[in-house]
Chain A
Amino acid sequence: MRVATDIGGTFTDLVCLKFDKKLGKVTDIKVSKTDTTPSNFEEGILNAISKSKLNLNEVDFFVHGTTVVINALTERKGAKTALITTKGFRDVLEIARCNRPDLFNFNFIKQPPFVPRYLRFEVDERMNYKGEIVTELNLDNLENIAKVCKEEKVEALAICLLHAYKNPENEIKLIQKLKLLLPEIEIIASHEITREWREYERSSTTVLSGYVLPIAKKYLNKLEANLKRNGLSKIPYIMQSNGGITTINDVKSNPITMVESGPASGVFGAIALGKVIDKKNLIVLDIGGTTAKCALIENGQVKITTNYKIDHSRTQAGYPIQTPVIDIVEIGNGGGSIAWIDTGGKMHVGPKSAGAIPGPAAYGRGGKNLTTTDANIILGRIHPDYFLGGELKPDYRSIHAASKSLCNALNTSKEAIAKGIIRVANANMTNALKLISVNKGYDPRDFSMVVIGGGGAMHGADLARELQVSELIVPLHAGVFSAFGMLMSDLRRDLIRTNVIALVDKTKIIIQAVFKEMRNDAIEKYKADGFSEALIKFTYYTDLRYAGQEHYVKVELPNFSKDTPLDEIINNFHTLHKKQYSFSLEAQVELVNFHLIAEVKVDKPDFPKLKNTGKKIEEALFGNQDVDFDDLGKHNTIFYNRELLEPNMRIKGPAVIAEKATTTLVTPVQQLKVDMYGNLIITMK
């Protein structure tokens, strides 16, 4: 039995696959949703386990994704953290990058640093950019620093020295000494988390890692003990932001890698699904209550970046975390996004959301603003019996009241407003989807679009038309797809190192040496977790640019070995640069970062197939009503119950497929087919 649990902002999801070990076939799937318990997250998991009547003794594989890290960060509930830097540079953390994203707001308020100035200490030492020691490390000051840390009840200490990405020698010495002086507190140094340059970004990463370290460790320890007590004999795995899993022990030393694990697992679920149905080029769209997230998968691979930031927006710089995170674009558009009109009479949707409380006007819980969900109800796209999993009837009077001010301001009908909201929301999402596709040189026609989350299937049909993707896929269990994705993920480590060199023959030896060092590093870490070298699969990437440029293009080195010709790498770079930016140059090519992916495959069951019991499509039909398809007109539309659909059934649009967690729209120009895994495949007629 294999179990995945995923803690989200509102719900904790659980997916359990029972399977026949000999055949590798899934024999039963259990899915459950329970409320997230923010004060005590592991309780939510235990609730979910008992609700599904699982016996942990029988579980062979347990994987877990959690928001504990991102919550501690965004709600500022982490540890009291101090920082040690090179002499002269303790203010780097506060000066940050000096930018003002809200550039015409002269009354801008800059986000404060996570460590106040009185807890930012300096040690005398200096490394130059080549990693050579210019000033020897002086440890005299440490006892004093330790004393202040104790007095101030510091719980975590971060260390980030200049050029430590190149040579961590002094950081290592500092850690050794400080662990003796301060045995009770968590101490973490930059080189343990990131080996990339840029001192502010690295300091911020180290500080935030320290900030979440005590709380995450405590949580993981409690979880581990509780699971063990309840009968789990296997070591639990934890989902990371790079889309891979790792052991609970490994993640305890560097918990910041969990920061975006939720969205990552949804995307990796889509990749796993794509492998099974032989679709390697995917655009994944996950629409939740407050935001929509999207990612592009090319040839079964999603890009990993380290340009991640928390609390970042169009008006705020945010706080960088240089940890490998899958490349996701997120916008403030979800089911709960509020429609509003500015002083110039223009209607906007989001980024403000009605959230779960009071929620959209349709909830009848006092929501006074019209949201995207309300607009979908006005247009007849959501069946009243299937609203909120059938637990609630839409409050039409509340919707009417909420639409009034918009109708008056624009002097138009409720229906026109609703259509407007959907158009604006779809346009926002289209722009985000173009950002990851067209703007990067990809043609959406070469891609299938996978929609997940509560709102994905509702908007997918219109967006698929707009982008002209080849087909739209609404997976089975789209509502708990993140948990599903975890069961399909492998162990994965992304190692990234800055080491700037020209790509010329005489530097080939450096490329070999750096990758070798990184390989050994990965092998050692896997060995500590009990995996032998033979199990590890390596993939090699480099970040390349033209000498003089700052930004780079990620280039894979397929079948990399010591014989790989440089010309091949350089030519690939020219091609990719041209694809993304429409030109290439004859200039010198420079390597900036080495990126090594080390994966260990986990033994996984096949993707479960949906049984065919010979049901007729008429059995799934449960009603009809007028649905407004905007530019495609208003049509009397048949509603189907998804739980009663079976493989190979075909439905012509217009149609609506309702299920507990979501609703799928099929416009009059589209058609639907159920595949053998129960996925809905929607294409143009």
Chain B
Amino acid sequence: MEQFTLEIIQDTLIAAGDEMFKTLERTSMSPIIYESLDYAVGITNSKGELLAQGNGITAFLAALDSVVCSTLEKYSGDNSLQKGDVIITNTPYAGGGTHLSDVSVIYPVFYKEELIAFTVNKAHWTELGGTYPGSVSTVATEIFQEGLHFPFIKIKSMGKINQSIIDMIKVNVRLPDSTLGDLYAGIAAAEIGAKRVINIIEKYGLETYKKAGISFLNYGERVSLEALKTIPNGIYEGNSTIEDNGFGEGPFPIKAKITITDKELIVDFNGSHPQVKGAVNLSFNGLVTGCRSIFKAITTPQMDANGGAFRPLKVLCNPGTIVSAESPAAVSIYYETLVTSIDLIWKILAPLIPDKLPAGHLRSVCATFISGVHPDTNQFYIQAEPLAGGWGASNSHDGNRGQLSCGSGESYNIPVEIREMRYGIQVEQYAFHNEGGGYGEYQGGNGQYVDYKILSDGANLTAAFLGEKTKTWGMNGGHDGSYNYFKIIRKNGIEERHSLGTNIYLEKGDIVRCVTATGGGYGKPEDRPIEQILLDIKNGYITKKQAEKAYKITL
């Protein structure tokens, strides 16, 4: 009967994770947290092994356990953690690292003087200072330009808040209320998780609790191994590129070699381009996170995240490449390279497991950061958000329309009605486009146009839309999709097309048109039923002209 008790403890830990997740969402001050859900919360054992994780996005899967491990490395021996300590960090190059905007809160949980767990969360704070609003830049060349850096510091020491750090944050960021609000939300979420862990131990006893942790990790490993057996063994290779580093240089190759056996899946990224000037570098920890999310997608997509489940995954890459960057590389738009790395593994493996992986999707977060002064309130605003686009078709269905990239997940768009109140922006259209592509037996999902009209002078735009020169990929005879890019349509009618841009100056009346890609098609276009093609035309998903050309029909 003990087995059932252990499983109930695991489920209770997962419920505690859900509760921490909700707390952070509901108390945060940053839209990128409460709408995009760009954060994760988790519980690890005293060694940093992951027992429960609540995710808003896929991209933080290696962020929580490894940040605890790095915390334990710094605070050991005479310097070890005390009850009431709370650590914050955003170091990209150590455990948990992505970019400076993602701040981790690490909360050691003590039971009768013994360190027995960590509750931890990592969230994208909208503002951390640095050269440009939103702490993101496509033209940063060193991390020092990207904002405040917290190298595993104690924000609370034995229960007492470190006011000096608070004061320092306050004067170094552009939206101090929001930044500090996010800090308090992170601490509150971790505190609640800690309370729940203690409740569980009080109910079931410390020994049973510890046993449940071990059993859960082993369970995760077993489930992963079972799933791994269904993927054909072999060695598979492929490559991709980062098109541009923000300075018009590139493309930069990324290489992956994947070895699959029944016992493990090894991804070797050696041979990828050295780290570059510009902010598209990905740290090794970020790479591991990306590999974990695609590994989970092909093995245990529905299982609750669990450290044991990742034991069969090995990620290899020597330091200093564009996917294993070292200090002082700039990393603020690491997420584009992260998504590219996931997409590369995806493209290599999709033909082996077409029931789990469809054709290529928009492959970019298409994040925009628009800052300016609200015309009615005169307050400074930063609108930061990822954009949705088309997903690839698979061997059983057409691609989805209006969905955020694989790097996001349970993330939401910002409603027009809320956006227009909060920011000095009017949305002119929010619609699917007909830029073509994605034809096949199953059609790729349409990309979309989002037009922002700027309502006050002196606004600025930073954005990164990789895929401006590379279409989303089709599969098994399906056509490639289309491109991601953005355009500035000036008041005087002049149009400028971009892939990456930092602090582009905007005047009242200018329009920013964001264009996200249509996903790749699956199967040969001639196998698509004619009724389906006619319905697509009726719905305007494709034009008559496109249908005649791609599907070779005459209307």
Contacts and interface: CB of A to CB of B under 8 A. Distances in A.
A315 interface: yes
A163 interface: yes
B15 A198 contact: no
Contacts of B181: 546, 548-549, 585, 587
B149 interface: no
Contacts of A342: 223
Nearest to A630: B1
A89, A130, A419 interface centre (most CB from chain B within 10 Å): A89
Contacts, number: 203
Nearest to A109: B397
A581 B22 CA distance: 10
A581 B26 contact: yes
Nearest to A588: B177
Nearest to A550: B34
Nearest to A439: B19
Contact of A582 (B7, B191, B294, B394): B191
Contacts of A118: 538-540
Contact of B402 (A89, A95, A109, A129): A95
B408 A548 contact: no
B541 A117 contact: yes
B416 A128 contact: no
B188 A108 contact: no
B4 A91 contact: no
A528 B314 CA distance: 70
Interface in A93-140: 94-110, 116-118, 128-130, 134
A142 interface: no
Nearest to B445: A110
Contact of A106 (B358, B402, B408): B358
A116 B537 CA distance: 12
Given A99-B409, A548-B29, A108 B400 contact: yes
Interface in B373-427: 376, 388, 394, 397, 400-404, 406, 408-413, 415-418, 420-421, 426-427
Q: Is the interface of A mostly helix, strand, loop or mixed?
A: loop
Nearest to B126: A548
A431 B11 contact: yes
A669 interface: no
B540 A346 contact: no
A96 B413 CA distance: 8
B432 A100 contact: no
Q: Which bracket fits the contact residues of B?
A: 35 or more
A406 to B, nearest CB: 12
B4 A423 contact: yes
Given A106-B297, A128-B426, A198-B417, A99 B177 contact: no
A343 B35 contact: no
Interface in A453-509: 500
B428 interface: yes
A346 B7 contact: yes
B34 A347 contact: no
Contacts of A343: 222-223, 226-227
A104 B410 contact: no
A558 interface: no
A41 to B, nearest CB: 34
Given A91-B430, A94-B402, A100-B404, A107 B15 contact: no
B192 interface: yes
Contacts of B429: 87-89
Interface in B318-350: 346
B471 to A, nearest CB: 19
Interface in B422-457: 426-432, 448, 451
A103 B57 contact: yes
A427 interface: yes
B63 to A, nearest CB: 15
A424 interface: yes
Given A100-B404, A108-B400, A197-B417, A420 B4 contact: yes
Contact of A105 (B191, B226, B301, B448): B301
B35, B356, B402, B448 interface centre (most CB from chain A within 10 Å): B402
B293 interface: yes
Contacts of A104: 58, 293, 296-297, 300-302, 409
- Please list the 5 inter-chain residue pairs (A to B) with the smallest Cβ-Cβ separation, ordered nearest first: A103-B409, A95-B402, A88-B429, A344-B223, A98-B388
27 contacts: A94-B401, A95-B402, A98-B413, A99-B410, A100-B409, A105-B302, A106-B356, A107-B394, A118-B540, A128-B426, A129-B420, A129-B421, A346-B7, A423-B1, A423-B4, A423-B5, A434-B15, A500-B421, A546-B29, A546-B181, A548-B29, A548-B177, A551-B27, A581-B27, A582-B23, A582-B192, A583-B27
Given A87-B429, A104-B297, A344-B220, 8 more contacts: A97-B413, A104-B296, A106-B357, A117-B541, A130-B376, A347-B4, A410-B3, A582-B191
Interface of A: 87-92, 94-110, 116-118, 128-130, 134, 162-163, 165, 197-201, 315, 342-347, 410, 416, 419-420, 423-424, 427-428, 431, 434-435, 439, 500, 546-551, 581-583, 585, 587
